Structure 1
Amino acid sequence: MLRSSAALLLRRCCLHSFAPPAPALHSSSKDAYFAAVSHIAGVVRRDFYLERTLGRMRLPPPTSDLVLRVLREAAHSAPLSALRFFAWARNSSSYRPSGPEFDALILPLARHRHWSQMWKLAEDMRSLSLPLLPSTFSAVIEAYGDASHVDLAVDVFNRLPKFDCPQTTAVYNALLSALCRVGNFHGAYALIRRMARKQVLPDRQTFSILVNAWCAAGKLREAQDFLEEMNRRGFKPPVRGRDILIDGLVDAGYLESAKSMVLRMTKEGVLPDITTFNSLLQSLCDSGETDFCVGLLQEASDMGLCPDISTYKVLIPAVSKSGKIEKAFKLFYSAVDDGNKPFPSLYATIIKALCKAGRFCDAFSFFNDMKGKGHPPNRPVFTMLVKLCVRGGKFVEAANYLVEMTEMGMVPMSQSFDMVVDGLKHCGKHELAMRMEQMEVSLRSY
C-alpha cells in the first residue's frame, strides 16, 4: 500500500515536471513569438512545479517585453503564480525589471486581496527608484473600496507621497468612490475640501461620484448644495452631474427644485440630457403643469435641444387631455417635421380630445388623414373611436367604423357591437341595427 502511494506520487511529480517544449522565442515570426508567450503563461497559470518546469524548458534569457506579456496574460487569474514567475525572471543576471512589469502585478494582487505581496512589490519599486503610476494605485484604492476596506484605502492614499506618487484627481476620485460606497459622506466632503486646499481640480468623474451617491442615499439637498458651492468656487459642474441630480429630484418628487435647476441650466446656456428632460416633463405633466412644459420645450428647442419621439409621447397626450387641442396639433406636426413617424396612440389622444370637445368632423378628418399618411389604425384606436361616437350620439358613424374594422381583418369586441346596436335601435335605425347583429353572428361563427 505504501509502495503504491509512493509510486503514484512519483508519477504525478514527473507529469508536472516535464512540460512540452515552448515554441522558439528567437523566431522572426510574430505568431511564433506570441505562441511562445501564451505557452509560458499557460505554464505559469497551471504548473504546480513552476520554477522547475521553466528551468527545464531551456528558455533564452528573459526580456522585459516577454516578462510583461506573460504577466499580463497570467496575473489576472493567477496573481501569486505570476509573482513566482516574476521572481524567477529576476534571478536571471541579464534581466532588469522595469515599472510596467511591477504595475502589471500590483493591481491583480490588490484585486485578489493579496495586500502584503502588493506592498512588498511597491517597496521593491521604491528601492529600484522606479516611479509608481497614480493610475495603478487608483485601481488599488478602488479594489480596497470594493472589499469595503475603506480604512486601508485611506492608508494607501496617505502613503502615496512616501512612494513619490502624486495624488492626482484620479486618485482622489478613487478614494471618493470608496468613501461614498460605505456612506461616509462626511469623509467624502472633507476630501473635496482637501482637493480645494491642494488645488487639485475636480473633473466630471468627481461630480458624478458624489452626486450619484448622494441621490442614491436620498440626500438630494446635500447634492444640490454641493453643486451650488462648486459653482460659487468657479468649478463648473458637468451636465451629467446635474442630470443625475435632476433625475434624483424627480424620482423623490421635488419637482420645484428640479424645475429651478433646469431653468438655471438653460439660463447658463447648458442643456440637460434628453432622457433627463423627458423624465422631468413626464412628472410635471402628471402634476398638471402642461403649460410650463410646453414653454420649457420651446425654450430648450430654441437653444438647440433636439426632442425625440419620447418627448412628444409625453407632451401630446398631456396637452390633449387638458383640452388645448390647437397646442396638441402644433406639437404633433412639430414631431412630424422633426422626422419622427407618429404611431396610432399619438393620433388617438388628439382624436379623443376632438370628440370630447364635440368636434366630430375634425376628429373624422384627422382619422382619415392618419390612414392617408400610411399609419393604419390598430384595434384600440378603432375601439376608442367607436365608443366616443356612441357617447356623442354618432351611431351610424360608429357602425361604419365597426364595418371598417372587419374589412381590415380585426374582430370588434362584443361590447362594441352591443353599444352600437342599442344606439341604432334607440334612434330608430332598426334595419341597420339588424345588419350589425347579423354581422356579429357571422364573425363569431368562424
Structure 2
Amino acid sequence: MLSRLGLRLAVKSNMQWAKFMTQGVRSKALSPNEIPLQTTEKDDYFAAVQHVSNIVRHDFYMERTLNKMRLSLTSDLVFRVLRACSRCGTESFRFFNWARGHQPASYTPTSVEYEEMVKILARSKKYESMWKVIQEMKNQNLGLSAEAVCGIIEEFGRHGLTDQAVEVFNKCRHFDCAQTVEVYNSLLFALCEVKMFHAAYALIGRMIRKKVVPDKRTYSVLVNGWCSSGKMREAQEFLEDMSRKGFNPPVRGRDLLIEGLLNAGYLESAKEMVRKMTKEGFIPDIGTFNSLMEAVCKSGEVDFCLSLHYKVCKLGLCPDINTYKLLIPPVSKAGLIDEAFKLLNNSIEVGHRPFPSLYAPIIKGMCRKGQFDDAFSFFSEMKTKGHPPNRPVYTMLITMCGRGGRYIEAANYLMEMTEFGFIPISRCFDLVTDGLKNIGRHDLAKKLEQLEVSLRGD
C-alpha cells in the first residue's frame, strides 16, 4: 500500500510541476524581485526550478525536453537552475547556452548568471569554456565582481594551478575589478594550498605597500597553512612580525593559532594551548572556543568540554547560543542529564529561547535511560511555556516510546502531532500500530490505521 501511495504522490507532484511550467511560468516572467508572495505559488515556483534542475542533471536529451516545456525564461529562474546544478559543469553550460539561444528576444543573461557560470566552469576545471564566457562578458561591458574573481583564484589554487591564479589576480583591472583585501586573501589561499609560504608572505608585504589593510582571514589563511604543515614557530613569528609593524589581527594571535591547529587536525596541541591560556587567566575568543568545543565533542571528550566550559565562564567568557547548541546534544547523549539541564537553564537565564534542537536531546537522553515519565513531564512543560515542538521532535519521541515499549503514549503523541498539522512518517505509524497489536490494543491500532489512510488520502 505504501509503495503505491508513494508513487501516486510523486505523480501528483510532477503533474503540479508540469502545470506550473506550462501555465504559471509561461504566463508571467518572474524577475528576482517578483517571486510570488503566496506560499503555494512560492512552492510551485521552487518546485518548477527543481524540476528543470533535474532535467539538466539527468536528461541526456536536455534541450529537446526543455523545448517541449515552453518555458518563459527569467534571470532568476536561470540563476537558480545553475546554482542547483553547480556540480555538473558540462550540463550547466549546455543549459546556459540553450537559455541564451532559446528566447534571445525576451531573455538576455545578466552578470549574475554569467558569474555563476564562470564559477561552475572553474570548479569543473573547464577553463577554456570559462575564459570564453569571461570574454563574452567583456564584449558586453560586464565586469567581474570581486566575489567571482575570488572564486576563480581559489579554484585554481585548489587544483594546484598557482600560475593561473596569479594571472587572474594580475588581470583584475582587465575585469573591472579592484584588488580588494578579499582578492588578496584568495591569492594567499591559492599560494598556501601549494605550500608557497614565502610567496604568500611576500604578497602580504605587497598588501601593506598598497595600503590594503589585512583582515582576520588574511591572518587565518597563512596561520592555517603553516599549522597544517607543522610550522608552528613560523606562524608565531609571522604574527609577532605583523604586530611589530602595527598590523594587529582583529582577534588575538593565540586564537588564530588555536584555530589553525584545529583546522590542521592537531586537537591535543590546541587543547594544551587553551589550558595554558586559562591557567594564565586569559580566555579565548568565543568563536575560537566554540570551534574547540565542536572538535573535542566530536572526539567524545564530553567531560573535558564541561570542565573547560565552566572554567572559562568563571574567567568571564559569555557563551553564545552556538555554545549551547554544541554542548547540550553530546552531554545528553553521554547520559549526563543533570548537566544538560544545567546548561539549558543557563542559556535561558541569559536570554536564549529554548528551541527544539536544545531541549530535544535532553528528552532523548532521558528516554535512553528509561526515565520516560520525566521526559513526558519535561516535554509538557516546554509546550506549556510556549516553546512548541516541531515534527522531528515528535518523531523522535514516538520512536523512543516505541523502543521502550510505551506504545499507548506513542499513540497519543502521534495523534497529538496530527492535531498540530504535522503528518507523521509511515515508519512511526508502523512502529506504533505493530506495538499496539502486540499488547492487545487492536482497537487503538485500527484507529491509527484509519488515521493514516485519511491523512494520505488513500
| TM-score normalised by L of structure 2 | 0.51
Kept in 1: contact 2:286–2:317 (CA 8 A): no
Which residue type is aligned with residue 191 of structure 1?
H
Distance change (3 Å), C-alpha of 1:302 and 1:152: same
| Structure label with greater radius of gyration | 1
1:81, distance to aligned residue in structure 2 (A): 1.1
- Structure 2 stretches lacking a partner, 5+ long: 1-130, 132-137
Measured after TM superposition, the shift of residue 148 of structure 1 is 2.0
Deviation per CA, 1:151-171, whole angstroms, max 9, x where unpaired? 444168669999xxx955423
Is the 1:224–1:245 contact (alpha carbons within 8 Å) kept by the matching residues of 2?
Answer: yes
SS in 2 for 1:99: coil
Q: Percent identity of the aligned residues?
A: 14
1:81 corresponds to: 196
Counterpart for residue 402 of structure 2: 285
Q: CA deviation at 1:243?
A: 2.0
1:140 matched to 2:249 = no
CA-to-partner distance for each residue in 1:25-55, whole Å, 9 max, x for gaps? xx99968x969x85997799689xx9xxx9x
Give 1:329's match in structure 2, choosing from 446, 453, 456.
446
1:177 aligns to 2:294 (yes or no)? yes
1:195-242 residue CA offsets vs partner (Å, 9 max, x unmatched): 477472520x31232123324444344323432454456544332122
Q: What code does the residue aligned with 1:241 have?
A: L
Find the counterpart in structure 2 of residue 90 from structure 1.
Answer: 205
Structure 2 distance, partners of 1:145, 1:43, is 19
Closer, same or farther: CA 106–240 of 1 in aligned 2, 3 Å: same
Cα contact 1:41–1:74 (8 A) shared by 2: no
Alignment of 1:382-397 (within 5 A): none
Match of 2:241 in 1: 124
Letter paired with 2:221: A
Q: Structure 1 residues 239, 327: closer, same or farther in 2, change over 3 A?
A: same
TM-score by length of 1: 0.52
Correspondent of 2:326 among 209, 228, 231: 209
Partner Cα distance (2:314, 2:395) in 1: 35
From 169, 178, 186, give the equivalent of 1:69.
186
Q: Is the 8 A contact 2:191 2:199 kept in 1?
A: no
- Partners of 1:40 and 1:320 lie apart in 2 by 58
Q: Deviations over 1:273-309 (max 9, x none)?
A: 5344334323423544332223333444444544232
Letter in structure 2 aligned against 1:148: E
CA spacing shift, 1:210–1:151, aligned 2, 3 Å: same
Aligned-partner residue type, residue 290 of structure 2? N
List gaps (5 residues or longer) in structure 1: 1-22, 342-372, 374-446
Aligned match of 1:274 in 380, 391, 394? 391
Q: Is the 8 A contact 2:356 2:393 kept in 1?
A: no
| Aligned-partner Cα distance in 2 for 1:129–1:91 | 14
Cα pair distance change 1:282/1:125, threshold 3 Å: same
Q: 3-state DSSP class of the match of 1:323?
A: coil
Match of 1:242 in 2: 359
Aligned length: 304
Determine the C-alpha separation between the residues in 2 that align with 1:256 and 1:280. 12
Greater relative CO, 1 or 2 (CA 8 Å, sep 6+): 2
**Equivalence for 1:384:** none
Distance 1:60 1:263 in 2: 60
**Which runs of structure 2 are paired with 1:369-380 in the superposition (5 Å)?**
none
Deviation at 1:189, TM superposition (A): 4.3
Q: Tell me the alpha carbon deviations over residues 371-391 of structure 1, each in whole angstroms, 9 at most, x when there is no partner.
A: xx6xxxxxxxxxxxxxxxxxx
> How well do the aligned residues superpose, as a CA RMSD in angstroms?
4.9
Is the Cα contact below 8 Å between 1:211 and 1:241 reproduced in 2?
yes
Q: Give the alignment of 1:227-376 within 5 angstroms.
A: 227-231=344-348, 235-338=352-455, 340=456
